[in-house]
Structure 1
Amino acid sequence: MAQSGTDAQRDTWTSNRGFILAAIGSAVGLGNIWRFPGVAYESGGGAFLIPYLIALITAGIPILFLDYGIGHRFRGSAPLALRRLHRRAEGIGWFQTMLLFIISIYYAAVIAWSMSFFYFSFGTKWGSDTQNFFLNDYLHAADPGISSELVAGVAWPLALVWVLIIIVLATGISGGVEKVNVIGIPLLVLGFGALVIRALTLPGATDGLNALFTPDWGALTDLDVWIAAYSQIFFSMSIAFGIMIAYASFQRRKANMTSSGLVVGFANSSFEILAGIGVFSALGFLAHQQGVAVDQLEGLTGPILSFVTFPAVISQMPGSALFGALFFGSLVIAGFTSLVSLVVGVSVALQEKFGLSQRTAAVSVGVVCAAFSFGLFATTTGLVALDTVDMFANNVGVVTSAIVMCVTVVWLARRGELLRLHLNTVSTFKLGRWWIPLVGVFAPVFLTVMLVQKLRELIVDGYEGYPDWYIGVFGWGTVVLAVVVAAGLALTGWKGRDDPAFVAWPPLEGAKR
């Protein structure tokens, strides 16, 4: 069967390097900088690296290979590739696409904050009370509710973020997405590397590193520590919710997929460890300046670390403007390259489903995402909405997506062996038969344990003391919305494509077992 016009004209990465840098750009995001250091510190310090590396090898990289195999073999975004894998799996792809949409509209707001604080770092405009500045002077943060009051300091940089996203996507995979990452990732490594070197020279840096890396071996017997390790790997690698499927679909036929996956997986983890060194060196300096122990500091993870604690660090440093520019500039680059990948997943899916041109899909998706970003996350209640939606989209939505996808591919569609042979045919690093039980049994079982624990916690305890109605709308409502829209799109016919179940490449011969 001949290829459809959409398949025949499919854009591709210009080189394997471009694909690897784009995949690293997707994986290395805000969570690497503000989540990993705090999670490691609270989960056994240096001992945490043991479950962390085990999680990388037994779940992170194997599921990354699964994403690569689906995208590269079936040549499509998550909905199209999964439909080609099995006709009834299309809905999983649309659920993943909806998660990408939901995450992108709040992720853009955090990049807007980072842009603002990049500007504020010149002259340390946040003053001495950084918490009051961030929550009140900058965000004008209100209690949980629904507000239509826009915050100008968020709205202007947010508009710039979406204009840039539309431009990048409209210029294509090779012309826009690849170039952004080829330029952005080296800049990120250089800029953040310089920041880490400077932080290591500060008084008290050693105290911070000791706090981070001193091992608590007893933590290894705590199931919560292992769950934290698998959660960190899972959320930081952009796996199991459509991004890497879409990116892999733009790879050339003979691309080395598994070797690229190893590079991406270990590069992501290396950056997280680098981030931990830089962040805790700076926290050690802050503790030294305040005459307290590191464990007495507040705000060691999440937005509070980046926009409250770190500005306090920067204010007390020699050369504060440069240090602030490096830190918040790194946040902008890391966030933007990840946001590009999120929106690519949405744009390409709709482009394939409705037969849209690349530019029409890019502009349409960008405008709709921007509208939701402004309406929900550039208002006075944006911080609370972001916190709630992020919790449910990631800890419930993405984990559920991973479990369902792994079980569907390996047990229902019985395509695990096909994907293993496909990856072995195009790659130098060969997957043994051990790969299938990892993605078909071990990973979904452990992820189910994670999901059940989180669901029990959310049902029994709620979340952050927010009102039940608010959790129902912005928390559970987020997941329900993703399911309903995904079901509707899966039932909608494909336009501009005679046979959406068509497999773009014939069965590969010579696959090594």
Structure 2
Amino acid sequence: MSTATQNAPEAPREQWGSQMGFILAAVGSAIGLGNIWRFPGVAYTNGGGAFLIPYLVALLTAGVVYLLFDWALGHRYRGSAPAIFRRINPKFEPLGWFQVGLCFLIITYYAVIVAWSFRYMGFSFTKAWGDDPAAFFTQDFLHLLPSAQAHLTGDIVPAITWPLVLVWLLVTVIMALGVAGGLERMNKIFLPLLVVMFVGMVVRAVTLPGAVNGLNSFFTPDWAALADPHVWIQAYAQIFFSLSVMFGIMITYASYLPRRANLGPTGFVVAFSNSSFEILAGIGVFSTLGFMASKQGIAVSELEGITGPILSFVTFPQVISMMPGGAVFGVLFFGSLSLAGITSLVSLIQVVTAAVQEKFGMSVRRSSLFVGIISALCSIFLYSTSNGLNMLDVVDNYVNNVGIVGSAIVTVFLITFVVRRLPELHHHINQHSAQPLGAWWRIFAGYITPIMLTVMLLFALVDLVQNGYGDYPRWFVLAFGWGSLAFIIIGSLVLTALPWCTTVDKFLPARLEGMEPRPYAHHQNDDLIEASATATTEEYR
């Protein structure tokens, strides 16, 4: 008998209090910083209104498809990412830890951006950035080193550190309260508040002088862009990253659903809610940029800083300083950014805490405290320094463009061609959906969309190998770009080698009507397998 099966059984798995609680949590995870500061710029630079065509195609063929792929894995095999992949095949456990590693790296810098947002919400009252928001952000606030001079530094910036500590205290308390008491309750409060605040900001933005010019720039289609493969790749990339799919989040969230759940329609609700928020963000951002351009007497196309941190922490402060009632607008914008960041941050942390909890037999509170302390220390000593934004930029690029896409490709390949479980997942979705999915889901999930992801990854790899990244020193990119991925791979192998402190191998998925359950781990005790299968089947029915 394996070491894992000799240990104490796992405690009853937590569950969402309701289907609506799960939907709000999934939407809260999907709606994050990228919706507000990435989508408008990506759409604008890739065909404007025409970009919505490949965007919607990508939403249906990749977003919904892989959201349901993740949910089927999580709901059927009911565990953290490492536990689920081990249950499918013990050799796949490192893939689960790789996804946990991706989330761990992301939370260490994502929390820092949330801290910036909270600070800027306070700055909005007094317009503390003065007449030069760019200099204030990079010099007075971040004390940022020029990218060409990036190097390791231990000079922690107090103005960033104390709000960062508060962010970690907040999210650690939320995580310690558990799935229903913490995550679900937080999303029921924060998500409606986020929507109200953001809608208020958008309403104010569209009433600004010059807003129409901004909206014209955002929605005017450049039909020639549809012939550019790069535009389609960008559309798939936006959907893929925005919905938080294929790197552990939705797998973990779905594992807390009760056996009787409605997966299919819920997936469409979450996916379209996320995309609706992105389009709303585009309307708000470009209305604001139209106002800014009219004030400066230039075209919107001549503006700089329409995406990423520069949009949020340089361009928007400039707008706030120009407009009447700017303080209220600033509070709404940076408050929305903070809430969107918090709801996404806790979903990333849950991936890590769930894995630690199951692997090492920790309670919810102990695992939350352990992960919170380790992550907070990494955030403080790596990203609240004068080199923080440089390091954040490099790590984020490699984690997203190489790590997450690579994880998705490997996952789909193993499930589709190695263990051939794609029909099983399809069957599981249809048995837990009011409206069954046709064969199109399996075709896109296992064959067509992976080709798009492979093309994305190859483009990213060729560009990074040939051109490097930015004007950072080569050693810096190697250490914190490729080095981050190497750290995750090595950590995944080490964690896989450690014994499980819970009975992870004593689980069998529920029996599907018309399809026999297949054990994914080999035990010497056949009676144990049969008892486990019977118990799980009865729970399902």
- With the length of structure 2 as denominator, give the TM-score of the two structures: 0.92
Measured after TM superposition, the shift of residue 7 of structure 1 is 5.1
Asked if residue 235 in structure 1 is aligned to residue 241 in structure 2, the reply is yes
> What does residue 301 of structure 1 align with?
307
Asked if residue 186 in structure 1 is aligned to residue 192 in structure 2, the reply is yes
Q: How does 1:101-112 map to 2 (within 5 A)?
A: 101-112=104-115
Asked if residue 81 in structure 1 is aligned to residue 68 in structure 2, the reply is no
> What does residue 35 of structure 1 align with?
38
Measured after TM superposition, the shift of residue 123 of structure 1 is 1.4
Question: Among residues 391, 394, 405, which one is paired with 2:400 in the alignment?
Answer: 394
Secondary structure at 1:121 match in 2? helix
Structure 1 vs Structure 2 CA RMSD: 1.5
Q: How does 1:193-272 map to 2 (within 5 A)?
A: 193-272=199-278
Question: Among residues 72, 96, 101, which one is paired with 1:98 in the alignment?
Answer: 101
> What does residue 167 of structure 1 align with?
173
CA contact (8 A) 1:27 1:268 kept: yes
> What does residue 21 of structure 2 align with?
18
Q: Distance in 2 between matches of 1:72 and 1:436?
A: 18
Measured after TM superposition, the shift of residue 384 of structure 1 is 0.3
Query: Which residue identity does 1:198 align to in structure 2?
Result: R
Measured after TM superposition, the shift of residue 259 of structure 1 is 1.3
Query: Which residue identity does 2:19 align to in structure 1?
Result: N
Question: Among residues 298, 310, 316, which one is paired with 1:292 in the alignment?
Answer: 298
> What does residue 332 of structure 1 align with?
338
> What does residue 491 of structure 1 align with?
497
Asked if residue 356 in structure 1 is aligned to residue 362 in structure 2, the reply is yes
- Unmatched runs of 5 consecutive residues or more in structure 1: none
CA contact (8 A) 2:197 2:332 kept: yes
Question: Among residues 407, 424, 443, which one is paired with 1:418 in the alignment?
Answer: 424
Query: Which residue identity does 2:79 align to in structure 1?
Result: G
Measured after TM superposition, the shift of residue 8 of structure 1 is 5.4
CA contact (8 A) 2:8 2:501 kept: no
- With the length of structure 1 as denominator, give the TM-score of the two structures: 0.97
Runs of 4+ aligned residues of structure 1 deviating over 4 Å after TM superposition are 4-8
Q: Distance in 2 between matches of 1:6 and 1:344?
A: 21
Asked if residue 503 in structure 1 is aligned to residue 504 in structure 2, the reply is no
Secondary structure at 1:281 match in 2? helix
CA contact (8 A) 2:10 2:502 kept: no
Asked if residue 280 in structure 1 is aligned to residue 286 in structure 2, the reply is yes
CA contact (8 A) 1:87 1:501 kept: no
Measured after TM superposition, the shift of residue 189 of structure 1 is 0.6
Q: Per the alignment, do residues 435 and 501 of structure 1 end up closer, same or farther by CA in structure 2, a change over 3 Å counting?
A: farther
Deviations 1:243-266 (A, max 9, x none): 000000000101111111111100
Secondary structure at 1:454 match in 2? helix
Deviations 1:265-289 (A, max 9, x none): 0000000000000000000000011
Measured after TM superposition, the shift of residue 429 of structure 1 is 2.3
Deviations 1:450-505 (A, max 9, x none): 001011111111111111100000100011111110111122221132xx234354
Measured after TM superposition, the shift of residue 88 of structure 1 is 1.5
Measured after TM superposition, the shift of residue 20 of structure 1 is 0.3
Q: Per the alignment, do residues 8 and 257 of structure 1 end up closer, same or farther by CA in structure 2, a change over 3 Å counting?
A: farther
Measured after TM superposition, the shift of residue 433 of structure 1 is 2.2
Question: Among residues 481, 486, 492, which one is paired with 2:487 in the alignment?
Answer: 481
Measured after TM superposition, the shift of residue 434 of structure 1 is 2.1
Deviations 1:52-80 (A, max 9, x none): 00001011110111100000000001111
> What does residue 47 of structure 2 align with?
44
Q: Distance in 1 between matches of 2:512 and 2:258?
A: 14
Larger Rg: 2
Q: Per the alignment, do residues 91 and 265 of structure 1 end up closer, same or farther by CA in structure 2, a change over 3 Å counting?
A: same
CA contact (8 A) 2:262 2:432 kept: yes
Q: Distance in 2 between matches of 1:413 and 1:501?
A: 17
